[in-house]
Each structure stands twice: as C-alpha cells, then as structure tokens.
C-alpha cells in the first residue's frame, strides 16, 4: 500500500514557517507583512474562499485587508483600486478573487498587479521568470508550488534521473508544474487530452501529476509500480450510497486501486487542496522579505 500524504499536516508545517518568518521580519526590520484581497460581487463560494484566506492571514500575523466591491463595479474602478494597492508600501501581496462577475475582464486586472505583489503567481512576468528558471525573484502559482513541496519532501531537492509526467497543460497549473519539475532536474513530459497512448506515457513516470478535471481517469495500470502520484483534480460525482442527490469529491486518480501500485499518493480531498492557501501565505511573506531587502524563508 502507498504512503498517503497528509496535505493538512504539510500545510500546517508551511504555516508554522510563515508565522516564524513573519514574526522575525517584524522584529528585525519593523515590517508587518500585508495582504490585500479584492472580491467583487456576492458569489457565496468566492466569499467562503476569501473568508478563509483572511482568517489564515490574521493567524499568520499579517496585516489583512479585504476590499468587497458590488457586482456592478466598473472595470476602471477595479483598476484604480489595484493601482492604489500597488502604490501602498504596507501591502506586499495583492489577490483578486476569481472569477469576476461579467462584464468585468479579469486578465488586464491580474496583469496590472505589480509582479512582486502578485502572490497568486498569475502575471506573465512571474510566468516568464519561472520559465527561465528565476525562482529567486519570481513568485510561483500557489497550487503547483504546494504540489512541489510534496515532491521535494518525497524525493529531495534534486530530481536528476527521474521521469515526471504532468497530465494537463493549463496556465494555472500544468505549465508551471512542469516548469518546477524541470527546474529541479527531472525529465518532464507534458501530456494532455491530445496525447497518443496516454496510459503508456504515464507508465513511464516516477512522478505522475494529474490535473485534467476528469474523475478517476488515472487507473492502476497507468501507474509505474513505486511511483509518486500527485492528484490535483477536484471533481464532484454522484454518491447514491449517501442518499438521493448526494455527491462526493474525487480526484483525477482512481485512489483505491492506484494506492495498491504507487509508493506515495495524495488523497482528494485532503491532499493538494490545503496547500493552496498555505502557499499563498508563503508567497506573501516571501514578497514582504524581498521588499524589506531580507532573505526570504524557504518552503
């Protein structure tokens, strides 16, 4: 049976490092780490996410600011708020909760956030820094950064000689994940819906990362015995055993059968999910250290 990675435990250890680094920065340079979150409209899921981010920021000792704007906010009003936060030296991280209500266009808003305050790691500047291997000044998208913490804790910093396969090529996860693995010296294959013989490609992976959004697509016979399997999928499927109309969360990996083959695996829920907010906090404290001219903590 595979070792199951406890994402909550790993996330808690990341948060512990964030708290220590936040306190140390305040002591050494008088700087309080600042995170500003902007939410537009009244989508309940978005408000729940933002609430949990705000609570975690406060728990880490950050100055936590939330701007809640009405759904009818105009593009230029939102842009003006981002510009104000860009200019505010007490704010080190700016987060715009997505999706934005229509007709707002999120892309120009995201790209207007200063790259050094882009704690979601979504700006093209940060994507470019990651692509060129500049992890010293760039900020990495939170979910791949979190998945990479699992990989490092399992295999160490140097992945030389290991084959990694990433299924999924999204800008949000697949591409940055592949880049992180490549920067750690893995031999990386990016697979996706158009890949021929996908199962065969996956069977070559020492590290298999699934991020396609198709419930339990990766079966046991896709997995090399002893592989590390990171499941980033979150899919809601019917669960008639729980009652009529009930659902449950599953990943992109058929967890039970793959657990029999892999050596290490992440569950869904409770694997990569808890790492996303933890890495958001990590990115914010990294940004604060850089702004203060201090060496940021390592995660």
Copy the structure tokens of residue 285: 């404290």
User: Which residues are identified as catalytic?
Assistant: 53, 97, 120
When computed from its CA atoms, the radius of gyration of the chain, rounded to whole angstroms, is: 20
29-117 shares its CATH topology with 142-274 = yes
What is the spatial distance between Cα 13 and Cα 191, in angstroms, rounded to a whole number? 32
Cross-sheet strand order for the sheet of 3-4: 3-4, 264-265, 228-231, 207-210, 163-167, 187-191
**Any binding-site annotation on 41?**
no
Instruction: Quote the pLDDT of residue 110.
Output: 97
**Any binding-site annotation on 94?**
no
pTM over 0.85: yes
Domain ranges (residues) in the chain: 29-117, 142-274
Instruction: Quote the pLDDT of residue 183.
Output: 96
**Any binding-site annotation on 271?**
no
What is the spatial distance between Cα 36 and Cα 38, in angstroms, rounded to a whole number? 7
Class of domain 29-117: alpha beta
Instruction: Quote the pLDDT of residue 268.
Output: 96
The structure tokens 């860009």 sit at 86
- For 142-274, CATH number? 3.40.50.720
What is the spatial distance between Cα 245 and Cα 66, in angstroms, rounded to a whole number? 35
The pLDDT tens digits along the chain (299 residues) read 899 999 999 999 999 999 999 999 999 999 999 999 999 999 888 999 999 999 999 999 999 999 999 999 999 999 999 999 999 999 999 999 999 999 999 999 999 999 999 999 999 999 999 999 999 999 999 999 999 999 999 999 999 999 999 999 999 999 999 999 999 999 999 999 899 999 999 999 999 999 999 999 999 999 999 999 999 999 999 888 888 888 999 999 999 999 999 999 999 999 999 999 999 999 999 999 999 999 999 99
Q: Are 127 and 134 in contact (CB under 8 A)?
A: no
**Any binding-site annotation on 194?**
no
Instruction: Quote the pLDDT of residue 240.
Output: 85
Instruction: Quote the pLDDT of residue 238.
Output: 87
């Amino acid at each position: 049976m595979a070792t199951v990675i406890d994402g909550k435990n790993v996330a808690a250890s990341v948060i512990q490092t964030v708290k220590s680094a936040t306190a140390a920065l305040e002591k050494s340079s008088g700087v309080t780490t600042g995170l500003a979150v902007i939410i537009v409209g009244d989508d309940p899921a978005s408000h729940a996410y933002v609430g949990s981010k705000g609570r975690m920021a406060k728990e880490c000792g950050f100055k936590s600011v939330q701007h809640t704007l009405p759904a009818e906010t105009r593009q230029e009003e939102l842009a003006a708020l981002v510009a104000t936060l860009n200019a505010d030296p007490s704010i080190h991280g700016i987060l715009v909760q997505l999706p934005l209500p229509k007709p707002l266009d999120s892309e120009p808003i995201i790209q207007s956030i200063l790259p050094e305050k882009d704690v979601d790691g979504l700006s093209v500047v940060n994507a470019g820094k990651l692509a060129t291997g500049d992890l010293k000044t760039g900020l990495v998208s939170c979910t791949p950064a979190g998945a990479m913490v699992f990989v490092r804790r399992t295999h160490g910093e140097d992945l030389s000689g290991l084959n990694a396969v990433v299924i999924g090529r999204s800008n949000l996860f697949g591409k940055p994940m592949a880049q992180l693995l490549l920067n750690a010296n893995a031999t990386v294959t990016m697979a996706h819906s158009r890949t021929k013989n996908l199962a065969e490609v996956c069977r070559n992976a020492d590290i298999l990362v699934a991020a396609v959004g198709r419930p339990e697509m990766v079966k046991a016979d896709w997995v090399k015995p002893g592989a590390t399997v990171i499941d980033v999928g979150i899919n809601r499927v019917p669960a008639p055993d729980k009652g009529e109309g009930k659902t449950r969360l599953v990943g992109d990996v058929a967890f039970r059968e793959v657990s029999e083959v892999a050596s290490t695996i992440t569950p869904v829920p409770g694997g990569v999910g808890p790492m996303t907010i933890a890495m958001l906090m990590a990115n914010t404290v990294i940004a604060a250290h850089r702004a203060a001219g201090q060496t940021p903590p390592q995660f």
